[in-house]
Amino acid sequence: MFVTRNTLKAIKEYFFSSLKNKYEKMELESLYLITAEEILNLNRTEIRLDKGVKLLESELLKFNSVIKGLKKDIPIQQLFGKAPFYEREFVIDENVLIPRQETEELIQLIVEKNKIDSPRILDIGTGSGAIAISLNLEINNSKVYALDVSEKALDIAKKNKELLNGKVEFLKLDILKESSSKFTEKLDLIVSNPPYVLNSEKELMLSNVLDYEPHLALFVEDANPLIFYKKIVDFALINLVEEGILYFEINEKYGEEVAGLMQNNFNKIEIIKDLNGKDRFVFGTLSS
Ligand code: GLN
């Protein structure tokens, strides 16, 4: 056996010594707490205090398999099949992007800005459904639709809708290929966090993202970095009501360019920074 004693103290030491070359101290601390919480069903205080916690053989084995996964750079969210987002827990797997903190900021901005009663909302490229479901649960009487090109992503999104009791209508649609006029209902809000990482930015990415998260959801060709934004702006011109709002999450490099795509037909265009001070969101209101 990899540890000879079944105390939490022993497994903690083993966890840290196995992974200390791969992760920094703070990150390791947080990975350990997440792992222990999940496997032992204890809260953080109980884990920190460790009043002589003893592990079952099955729990030791689970720890071992998480350590193995972390050594291979598998994201902790994938090891447990779930990720927190906007104070809820979403099921995830390798077919969907792990929801990011920036996208939580996007939800907060939309919820704060929304003044429409019972808005009709569409999320384009929904992945795990994190945006669509959160908006549905946060905005009273919202009617939410969500699209994705990936059937496997939609399966996860539907699972999340059921687990979280959201009301979202999911549709499989390739926004790049299908005609904008295929969508029949008029919308008050359109939101999208489309793929926006350049292929050339791959070398800057960590293995846990690059090797385990879906490239379909992340990357665009350097030659056409705004391909999704152009298509979604055209889609919005047809499908938004007058004064309807388009919300984008963007690559920090392209705030001005995305705003530029909108400037002929939208007003009140804003480029908004995320908590790290990077241009991360562009909003605009369709001119009447
Ligand atoms: N923000 C994500 C990342 O940094 C990318 C999200 C996206 O491409 N839409 O990995």
Give the three-state DSSP class for 32. helix
Alpha-helix residue ranges (DSSP H) falling in the chain: 8-19, 25-40, 44-49, 57-71, 76-80, 101-113, 130-138, 151-164, 207-210, 215-218, 227-239, 255-262
Residues 36 and 38: their CA atoms lie apart, in Å, by 5
From 98, 204, 218, give the residue whose CB has the most ligand 1 atoms within 8 Å, as the site to mutate.
218
SS3 57: helix
Average pLDDT, the chain: 95
Alpha carbon of 132 to those of 3, 74, 161, 185: distances in Å?
44, 26, 9, 16
Spell out which residues line ligand 1, taking CB within 6 angstroms. 100, 102, 193-197, 209, 218
For the CA of 102, the closest atom of ligand 1 is: 1
* Residue 190 structure tokens: 């359109």
Ligand 1 centroid–CA 254 distance in Å is 13
Q: Which atom of ligand 1 is nearest to the CA of 249?
A: 9
Q: What are 149-170's pLDDT values in tens digits?
A: 999 999 999 999 999 999 999 9
pLDDT band at 183 (very low <50, low <70, confident <90, very high): confident
The CA 280 to ligand 1 mean position distance, Å, reads 10
Does the pLDDT value for residue 77 go beyond 60? yes
Cα–Cα nearest to 164, from 249, 83, 100, 76: 83
Residues 6+ apart with CB under 8 A from 188: 116, 119, 120, 121, 240, 241, 244, 245
* Ligand 1 pocket mutation pick from 100, 131, 200 by most atoms within 8 angstroms of CB: 100
Residue 58 half-sphere exposure toward CB, CA atoms < 13 A: 2
CA–CA distance, 273 with 251 (Å, rounded to integer): 11
Percent of the chain whose predicted confidence (pLDDT) is above 90 = 95
1 has pLDDT over 60: no
> 3-class SS at 250?
coil
Per-residue pLDDT tens over the stretch 89-120: 999 999 999 999 999 999 999 999 999 999 99
- The predicted structure's pLDDT at residue 178: 82
pLDDT-based confidence at residue 252 (cuts at 50, 70, 90): very high
Distance 8 CA to ligand 1 centre (A): 36
Q: How far is the centre of ligand 1, averaged over its atoms, from the C-alpha of 230 (Å)? A: 18
> Is the pLDDT reported for residue 61 higher than 60?
yes
| Per-residue pLDDT at 5 | 82
Query: Is residue 42 pLDDT above 80, yes or no?
Result: yes
Residue type, position 210, single letter: L
47-75 average pLDDT score: 95
Predicted confidence band at 37 (pLDDT cuts at 50, 70, 90)? very high
Q: How far apart are CA 203 and CA 183, in angstroms?
A: 38
Q: How far, CA to CA in Å, does 212 sit from each of 69, 147, 150, 166, 192?
A: 11, 23, 16, 28, 22
Name residue, tokens 């077919």.
95
Q: What is the pLDDT of residues 238-250, one digit of tens each?
A: 999 999 999 999 9
Average pLDDT over residues 54-76: 96
Question: Percentage helix, strand, coil, to 5, in the chain?
Answer: 45, 20, 35
pLDDT of res. 184: 80
Residue 251 pLDDT > 80 = yes
For residue 210, the CA-to-ligand 1 centroid distance in Å is: 11
